[in-house]
Amino acid sequence: MSGVVLPLVLVAVACMSCGTVTDDKQQVAEACSVLRTADSLRAQGVLIDDSIALARAVTALGSHQRRHADDYVRACYYYGCLLRKRNNYTAAMQTFINAVHTETQRHDILGRVYSNMGSLCQKSSEFELAYQMYEMCAEQFMAAKDTTMYYFALNAMAYELAEQKKKTETCSLLGQIEQECTSTEVLTKIWETKARMYMHSEQYDSVIHCVNILHKNSYTYAVTYVLKAQAFWELGQNDSALYYARHVMQMPDASDVDKYNMLYITSNYDPSIDKQEVLKQTSERADINNYNIKPEKKQLAVAVMLLRQDMDRKPYFVNHIYLLLFLFFIIVVWLVAAIIIRKKHAKSAKDIEKQRLQLKEDQQVIISQYIRIKEKTEILNSEYNKHKNSIIQELERNINTLMKSENWQKETEWDDYDRFCETANRHFFMIADKLKAKKVLSEKEIRLCILVMTGCFDNRQIARLICYAESGIRNYKQRIAKKLGISSKDLRTYLFSLAVGESISGNWDENIHTPKNQIAGL
C-alpha cells in the first residue's frame, strides 16, 4: 500500500510546485507589462494612476526581488509616487525605503526615489534630513552619469541649506553649479534658491533681482511672485507689493497659505477691503485648513519617523549573507597577509643566517691572511737584521783597517774612500753618492754621517777621528739632521735606510728632506 501512496504524493507535490512556478511567472509578466505602461506615461510627463495594478506589481516582484531587482525598484518608485500624490505619506515613505534597500543598478530610479524622500522631509520642515536625502540623490545621479539631474540635486541641496539659513555653504554650492553646469534649466532654477537665501538674510533688493531674472527666463511659479510681493512689502513699496499679491491670489498653483498671506498684504493697502473682516476670514480659513491638513501633518511626521528609524538601524550590509561574506573576506585577507608576512620573515632570517656564515668565512680568510702576513713579516725582519748585521760587520772591519793605516787622516785617504767602500760593500758605497746628491752636506759632514751610521763609535771616538771637539759633536749631529729635515735621534736610522735600499729610503721626501712616515722598529 505504501509503495502506491508514496509515488502519488510525490506526483501531487510536483504538480503543485509546477503550478506555483507557472503562476509566479505569469504574475511577474503582468507586473512587467504594468511597468512598461508606467514608463511610457512618464515619458509623456504623466504619472500612472492605477494603484491596484502597481500594488500587485510590487507584491509579485517583491517575492523575486533578487532576480528582478531593477523591475522591483521601478515598481516601488511608481507606487510610492502615487501614494504620495494621494497624501498617503507614511505608506509612500515605507515604499521608498524598501526601494533603496534593493540591490539594483538602476541608479537613475534610485536618484528619483531619494529625491521624493527629500521632498517629503522638506514638506515636514525637516531641512537637515532633506539635505541628506538630496545628497544621496546626487550620488545616484552621478553614478548614472545623468549630469543634468545631478546638478538639479545639488541645487536642491543648496535650497535646503538656504532654508537652514546657512548662507556661506549655500553660496559655495551654487558657485560650484554655476562653474560646472551648462544646462539652462538648472542655471535658471538656482535663482529661486538664491531668492530664498536672500529672503532669509533679509536682503530684499537681491530677492527682487533674482525673481526678475527668473521672470525673464519664463519661470512663472507662484512661489516667485510670493517672494516678490513679500520683498516689496518689506521694502515699503506698496504699489508693487499690492500688484504681485493680487497676482498670486489669481494663480491656480498657489497654496491656500500663500493666498491668505497675500490677502493680508492686500488689505493693508486697499481701503476697500475691510482688514478686520480679512483677519476673521483668514483665521477661519486657517482653522479649517489646519483641521484639513492635520492628518497630512501626522502622516508626514510618521513618514519622517520611519526614515529616521531606518537610518539609525540600517546596517552597512543589509543582508546577513553579505555580512558573513564580508567577515569571511576579512579573515581570508588576514590569513593571506599573515602567510606573506611569515614568508618574508623566514626569507629574512635565511638571508641573515647566510650573511652571518659569509661573514664568518670572510673572517677566517682574513685571519689566515693575517697569519701568513705575520709569518712573512717575521721572515723579512730576520733577513733584514742578518743583512744589516753583515753590513755593519763589514763596515767595522773596513773602519778598523782604515784606523790602523798611518795616513788615515789625509784627504787622499778620504778621496779614495769611495773606492774602498765599493770594495767593502756595494750598498755602503751608495750612501756617499746619495748624501752628495742632496747638496746640503759638506765633505766633512758626510764623513761624520758615515761614522754615525756604523754605530761602532761614540761621540768621543768620532771627535778623535775627525779632529773635532767632543763637546761639539752633538751640535754637529743636530745641524746635519736639520739640513736633512729629520730629528737628530733618527739620524742613524735615516742613514742606514739610505744604505739598505729604496724600500726604506722611500719613506722620506727627497726634495724637502722631511720624513713621510716614522720608521718604527729600527
Q: What are the cell numbers at 347?
A: 626569507
Q: What confidence score (pLDDT) does residue 11 get? A: 47
Which residue, 78, 145, 154, 45, is CA-closest to 105?
145
**In 3-state terms, what secondary structure has residue 117?**
helix
Q: What confidence score (pLDDT) does residue 424 get? A: 47
β partners of residue 515:
508
The domain locations on the chain are: 11-105, 397-515
Q: What confidence score (pLDDT) does residue 92 get? A: 87
Q: What confidence score (pLDDT) does residue 505 get? A: 38
Q: Which residues of 341-376 are buried (b: 16+ CB within 10 A; e: fewer)?
A: eeeeeeeeeeeeeeeeeeeeeeeeeeeeeeeeeeee
Confidence of residue 399 (pLDDT cuts 50, 70, 90): low
Once rounded to an integer, what is the mean pLDDT over residues 428-449? 77
Confidence of residue 274 (pLDDT cuts 50, 70, 90): low
Position 153: which residue type? A
Once rounded to an integer, what is the mean pLDDT over residues 194-219? 86
Return the axis-axis angle of helices 275-313 and 89-100, rounded to nearest 10°: 30
Question: Who has greater pLDDT, 483 or 270?
Answer: 483
Confidence of residue 402 (pLDDT cuts 50, 70, 90): low
Position 218: which residue type? S
Would you say residue 275 has pLDDT above 70?
Answer: no
Position 111: which residue type? G
Question: Who has greater pLDDT, 222 or 179?
Answer: 179
State in Å, rounded, how far the first CA of the chain is from the last one: 126
Model confidence pTM above 0.85: no
Question: Who has greater pLDDT, 264 or 380?
Answer: 380
143/419 Cα distance (integer angstroms) = 110
Would you say residue 90 has pLDDT above 70?
Answer: yes
Burial class (CB in 10 A: 0-12, 13-18, 19+), 287: exposed
Top-confidence range, 96-105, 256-265, 463-472: 96-105
Transcribe 316-336 into DSSP letters. SSSSHHHHHHHHHHHHHHHHH
Position 226: which residue type? V
β partners of residue 514:
509
